[in-house]
Structure 1
Amino acid sequence: MTNPTPGLLDRPTVRFAARRLTRFAVSLWVLVTASFLMLHLIPGDPIRAALGMNASQDLVNQRRQALGLDDPLLLQYWDYLKGLFTGDLHTSLSSQLPVAQIIGERLPATLELAVAAFALAIVVAVPLGAVMGVITRNGRARRAELVFTTAGVIVGAIPEFVLCVVLVWILGVQLQWLPVAGKTGFASFVLPVVALAVGPAAILSRILRVEMVAVVGADYVRTARAKRLPAFAVYAKHALPNALTSTLTLGGLLLGTMVAGTVLVENVFAWPGLGSTIVSSILGKDYPVVQGVVLVYGVGVLAVNLLVDVALALLDPRSTIREA
């Protein structure tokens, strides 16, 4: 008697993907709803606050009507959802430009900064953590382990603002090696990228060292070494890919944190991205722009988490089975 063929929904990978997509959809709906309610939860009249107390009542009423704030709440919510599908995020109260246009002009600069910082953190953390894991395996090199761990804790705990100020003072003001403001070329990337990458690189390298120490002591690694394979092949092909799974998960979470961290770094270095835009919009009470930028940041973090889950499932298919 043959066993019945399992249905599509019985496969662990399909159930894993369905759960992740469902979680993403629910989180996205909560984010969209929260961003919509932002204008309605602000105390007072946000239109009056944005235009100033000296603005005429006719101008205030005109702006409220243009934003559809006179319509019933459910109708406003429906119009907001329809606008998201068409790219309509309303109009800036200060510049009278479409919010989607403002975000489209500023988003590339923020993405360049975040991606470059994440790439630098990975390039530094992976080889450093892997090498330290091999060196300190089986309780070896205790002094090197202590120095590495202590330095990682101290560097990872430095606030981004303090690190930005130190980098600007030393490399920008005292030595005058690098520009300290604006986006004027490759040199202008160095300071903000380093400021964003140092903390995550310290955290990731410490985590990877711990994972590498555990993996190096596994049976399959000892078997590979018993076969007299080259040390590089043992550690790079057998140990490192298995040690990277936890690091990848944490790295994805840190990427979301780094995207949010661009708000502070961009304002310190006068970087023309979304971070400086949202701060200037908050100070100017330009709430439609704040609403749109918050939505973009939130969608970015959710998308990064989803991509990390997919990448982790591809690297370690057993994770989909364990969660089934």
Structure 2
Amino acid sequence: MKAQTADGLLAGPGTRQAGTPHRLARGLVEHPWVRFAARRLSRLVASLWVLVTTAFLMIHLIPGDPVRGALGMTASQQVVNARREQLGLNDPLMTQYVRFLRDLAGGDLGASVTSGLPVSQVIGDRLPATVALAVASFLLAVLLSVPFGLGAAVLTRGGRRHRTELAFTTTSVLVATVPEFLLAVGLVWVFGVQLGWFPVAGRGGGASYVLPVVSLAAGPAAVLARIVRIEMLSVLHTDYIRTARAKRLPPRRLYLRHALPNAVTATLTIGGLLLSSLVAGTVLVENVFAWPGLGSTIVQSILTKDYPAVQGVVLVYGTGVLLVNLAVDVALALLDPRSTIRES
């Protein structure tokens, strides 16, 4: 038997089936994970637009003529004008911006003013060295910070071992405050020049990674270790840990299976921020060790006023930081879906 709807129409089985896709679509749109993905992707797109626009305006906001600065004062005005015409810097600003976006969408970052090589080729040759250095440093920082932070929390829980706590806190603060490049210079002097254990420049075998990786990882490892300890101390005072301890669970199972996973959220957040800082920190460390990565490339491009190359490297660094932050947000949502539902 057909039912009459509020507007006087007859609703039968066909009407119910016709409304099902609409309800499914509305349910899909209102799903917390869909809203989370839409919100994060919209932020990523907006951030990328700001990054790209800032990189584009960089050449135009620099005082003076960037082409003259790159070619030098001895270059003739005819050469400068020809180079400006080749780079399209004589066109209206909006025309340049649209062309920049179009070329960027096609993977064209322009050409280096000094070498004439495509910027994308320069970045492609140097990017793997920087990524390898940053990833190795991040992994070392995590491998050092988690056991040290966990061990310090277990040893000093409940106000025990004040001297151990003081030594851990003091050491971690001192290591975290030393700049990467200053630590790199010290390591080069001790382990490269005086002892001769490791090479001091270039990218060769595994030994060439030791000093730059330690230089980059020491500070973040100290910060992460303190975060792990604080979070672990908070977890160790919860009721379910007291219950697990009352059941006389083995220490490995108690701390690694029950306590550590619940303390990883804040650690992962800080770890993502530190990974972003590691990417930026490679700029100075690469120059100390003459590492053939993007860090040395951007410094050399700034010195020679090769602004298209600087523009491309800035875009790569900025995009890398944004993608790392997105990956951290997704990982946190997977580890703690309740936070995603609350934000939706």
**Structure 1 residue 213 corresponds to structure 2 residue 233:** yes
**Structure 1 residue 237 corresponds to structure 2 residue 257:** yes
| TM-score, normalised via structure 2 length | 0.91
Counterpart residue type for residue 175 of structure 2: V
Q: Alpha-carbon deviation of 1:323?
A: 2.0
Gap regions ≥5 residues in structure 1: none
Map of 1:115 onto structure 2:
135
Counterpart residue type for residue 128 of structure 1: F
**Structure 1 residue 148 corresponds to structure 2 residue 148:** no
Map of 1:31 onto structure 2:
51
* Whole-angstrom distance in 2 between the partners of 1:301 and 1:239: 30
**Structure 1 residue 183 corresponds to structure 2 residue 221:** no
- The SS at the match of 1:136 is helix
Q: Mean alpha-carbon deviation: is it higher for 52-61 or for 308-317?
A: 52-61
* Whole-angstrom distance in 1 between the partners of 2:37 and 2:156: 38
Counterpart residue type for residue 204 of structure 2: T
- The SS at the match of 1:180 is coil
* Residues 114-160 of structure 1 deviation map (CA, whole Å, 9 limit, x = unaligned): 00000000000011111111121122222211110111111111111
Q: Alpha-carbon deviation of 1:220?
A: 1.7
- The SS at the match of 2:81 is helix
* Whole-angstrom distance in 2 between the partners of 1:85 and 1:309: 26
Q: How many residues align?
A: 322
Bigger Rg, which one: 2
Map of 1:283 onto structure 2:
303
Gap regions ≥5 residues in structure 2: 1-22
Map of 2:182 onto structure 1:
162
* Whole-angstrom distance in 2 between the partners of 1:136 and 1:317: 31
Map of 2:18 onto structure 1:
none
- The SS at the match of 2:283 is helix
Map of 1:75 onto structure 2:
95
1:292 aligned to 312, 327, 342, which one?
312
Q: Alpha-carbon deviation of 1:233?
A: 0.9
**Structure 1 residue 98 corresponds to structure 2 residue 118:** yes
**Structure 1 residue 196 corresponds to structure 2 residue 216:** yes
> Which one has more relative contact order, counting CA pairs under 8 Å at least 6 apart?
1
* Residues 146-184 of structure 1 deviation map (CA, whole Å, 9 limit, x = unaligned): 110111111111111221111011000110100000111
Runs of at least 4 residues off by over 3 Å: 3-6
1:47 aligned to 46, 63, 67, which one?
67
* Whole-angstrom distance in 2 between the partners of 1:71 and 1:208: 54
